[in-house]
C-alpha cells in the first residue's frame, strides 16, 4: 500500500467500532484497530490521539456547530426558536450516520468510563449553548434553562433515534421531543 | 475520649470539608480528617467508606426523596405540578445546609473527577425522576423530558443558591427557575 490511504480516518473508525462491538472497548488495542483497517498504528495516531477519540472526536465540532448556529440567527429570535433551529441544523449533520451512532451508543452504554465521558461532553454542550444564548442577550437563569432544555431534547431525541431502525430521521424525533417539552411545561 | 462520640459523623464531615477547602481534596488524607475531628481513622471508616463519600453520601437519600415524593402525590397531578411539589420538598431538606453546600460546591468545582461524579449523580437523579413519573402513568418521551426539566431547574437553582450569601432559601430560587423555564418554553 502507498503512503496515502483513501479515507484512512473513516476506515479506522469503522474498524474500531467493529472491534469495540465484538470484544468490548477495553479489550481492543490500537494495533488491532489498525490491522483490521489494513493500516499501521502510525497511521492511526496520525488521525486519532487514542482509541477513545474515535468515539468522542466529533464532540468539539458538535460544540462549534451549536455555538455558530446560535450566534448566526437573526436578532430577536426567541431562545426556544433559536434552540429549535439549531437542533434542526444539528440533526441534518447526522443524516448518514445512523449505523455509526447506533454502534457508538452500544459501545458507550457498555462501559462506565465512557458513559461518564459522554455526560461530560453533554454538559459542555449545555454550557456552550448557554454561553451562546447569553451572547444573544438572553438573561440568566433563562439562558441556562433554555440551554438545558435544548440538550435534554437533543439527548432524549437522540436516544429514541439510535434505538429506532433508522428509517426515520433524527429531526423528526427532535421535533416530537420539542413539542412534548412545550406541552409538559405548559401544564399547571 | 470515650468510645461513643456525639455527632462523630457531623464532626468528620465538617473537618473533611475544612481540609478539602484548605489544601484540596486530593491532598487530604483520611488520617488528617480524623485527627482534625479529634477522632480515629477507624471511626471515620465506621461512618464513611472513603473520603469521597463525605461529599456524595447524601446522594442516595436525595434519590429516595425524589422517588418517594413523586410516588406519594395524588393521582391526576400533572407532571410539572408533581415536579414543582417535589422540588419544594427537596428544597426544605437543604434549609440548614447552605454553608456545607457552598463549601461542597467549591471543593467539587476544583476537581475534575469530583465534577464527573457529580454529573453522574445528577444523571441518576434524572433517571430516578423519569422512572417515578412513568410509574405515575406519564408516557415517554414526556416522562424523561419532565424529569430532565426537573433536574435542570434543580441544578440551576442550586447553583444560584450556593453562589448567594445564603439569606434566601433554596425554594425561592427553585420557584424562580420553574417560572422561568415555563416562560422560556412557552415562547414561539
Q: Which of A89, A175, A181, A184 is nearest to A132 (CA)?
A: A89
Q: What's the full length of chain A, in residues?
A: 188
Residues 37-66 of B with CB under 8 A from A: none
> CA–CA separation, A105 vs A93, rounded Å?
17
At CB < 8 A and 24+ separation, what contacts does B109-114 make? B110/B24, B110/B25, B111/B24, B111/B25, B111/B26, B114/B25, B114/B52, B114/B55
Q: Which fold has domain A58-186?
A: Tetracycline Repressor; domain 2 (1.10.357)
pLDDT, mean over chain B: 94
User: What digits encode the pLDDT tens for the residues B126-140?
Assistant: 999 999 999 999 999
Using the Cβ of A2 and the Cβ atoms of chain B, whether some distance falls under 8 Å is answered with no
Hey, is A187 helix, strand or coil? Answer: coil
Element (H, E) at A124: helix A112-135
Using the Cβ of A4 and the Cβ atoms of chain B, whether some distance falls under 8 Å is answered with no
Using the Cβ of A177 and the Cβ atoms of chain B, whether some distance falls under 8 Å is answered with yes
Contact criterion met (CB below 8 Å) for B90 and B62: yes
Q: Which residues contact B102 (CB under 8 A, 6 or more apart)?
A: B162, B166
Binning pLDDT at 50, 70 and 90, where does residue A58 land?
A: confident
Q: Which chain B residues have a beta carbon less than 8 Å from that of A141? A: 156-157, 160, 176-177, 180
> Which segments of chain B belong to CATH 1.10.10.60?
8-54
Element (H, E) at A159: helix A142-163
Q: Which of A95-99, A167-171, B6-10 has the lowest mean pLDDT?
A: B6-10
Task: Check pLDDT > 70 for residue A4.
Answer: no
Contact criterion met (CB below 8 Å) for A62 and A156: no
User: What digits encode the pLDDT tens for the residues A11-50?
Assistant: 999 999 999 999 999 999 999 999 999 999 999 999 999 9
Mutation target for A interface from B81, B133, B156, B176: give the one with most A CBs within 10 A.
Answer: B156
Of residues A81, A120, A141, nearest to B176 (C-beta): A141
ipTM metric? 0.89
User: What digits encode the pLDDT tens for the residues B87-114?
Assistant: 999 999 999 899 999 999 999 999 999 9
Residue of A nearest to B112 (CA): A120
Binning pLDDT at 50, 70 and 90, where does residue B28 land?
A: very high
Of residues B142, B156, B157, nearest to A180 (C-beta): B142
Using the Cβ of A163 and the Cβ atoms of chain B, whether some distance falls under 8 Å is answered with no
Report pTM: 0.90
> Which segments of chain A belong to CATH 1.10.357.10?
58-186
Element (H, E) at A82: helix A79-93
Alpha helices, DSSP H, located in chain B: 8-23, 30-36, 41-47, 53-56, 59-72, 79-93, 98-109, 112-135, 142-163, 170-186
Q: Residue B57: its pLDDT value, please?
A: 87
Binning pLDDT at 50, 70 and 90, where does residue A128 land?
A: very high
Return the half-sphere exposure (C-beta side, CA atoms, 13 A cut-off) of residue B172: 9
Contact criterion met (CB below 8 Å) for B162 and B99: no
Burial grade of B7 (CB within 10 A; 0-12, 13-18, 19 or more): exposed
pLDDT, mean over chain A: 94
Query: What is the residue whose three cell numbers read 474500531?
Result: A16
Residues 84-113 of A with CB under 8 A from B: none
Of residues B144, B176, B181, nearest to A185 (C-beta): B181
In CATH terms, A8-54 corresponds, of 3.30.1490.20, 1.20.1440.230, 1.10.10.60, 1.10.580.10, to 1.10.10.60
Contact criterion met (CB below 8 Å) for A147 and A129: yes
Residues 132-161 of A with CB under 8 A from B: 141-142, 144-146, 148-149, 152-153, 155-157, 160
Amino acid at each position: 500500500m502507498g503512503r496515502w490511504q483513501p479515507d484512512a480516518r473513516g476506515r479506522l473508525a469503522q474498524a474500531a467500532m467493529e472491534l469495540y462491538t465484538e470484544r468490548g472497548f477495553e479489550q481492543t488495542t490500537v494495533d488491532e484497530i489498525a490491522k483490521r483497517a489494513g493500516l499501521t498504528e502510525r497511521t492511526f495516531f496520525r488521525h486519532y490521539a487514542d482509541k477513545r477519540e474515535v468515539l468522542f472526536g466529533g464532540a468539539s465540532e458538535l460544540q462549534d456547530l451549536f455555538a455558530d448556529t446560535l450566534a448566526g440567527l437573526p436578532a430577536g429570535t426567541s431562545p426556544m426558536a433559536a434552540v429549535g433551529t439549531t437542533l434542526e441544523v444539528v440533526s441534518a449533520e447526522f443524516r448518514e450516520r445512523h449505523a455509526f451512532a447506533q454502534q457508538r451508543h452500544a459501545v458507550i452504554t457498555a462501559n462506565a468510563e465512557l458513559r461518564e465521558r459522554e455526560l461530560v461532553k453533554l454538559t459542555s454542550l449545555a454550557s456552550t449553548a448557554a454561553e451562546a444564548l447569553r451572547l444573544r442577550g438572553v438573561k440568566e437563569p433563562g439562558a441556562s434553562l433554555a440551554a438545558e432544555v435544548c440538550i435534554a431534547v437533543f439527548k432524549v431525541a437522540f436516544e429514541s433515534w439510535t434505538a429506532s431502525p433508522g428509517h426515520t430521521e433524527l429531526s423528526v424525533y427532535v421535533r416530537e421531543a420539542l413539542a412534548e417539552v412545550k406541552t409538559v411545561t405548559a401544564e399547571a
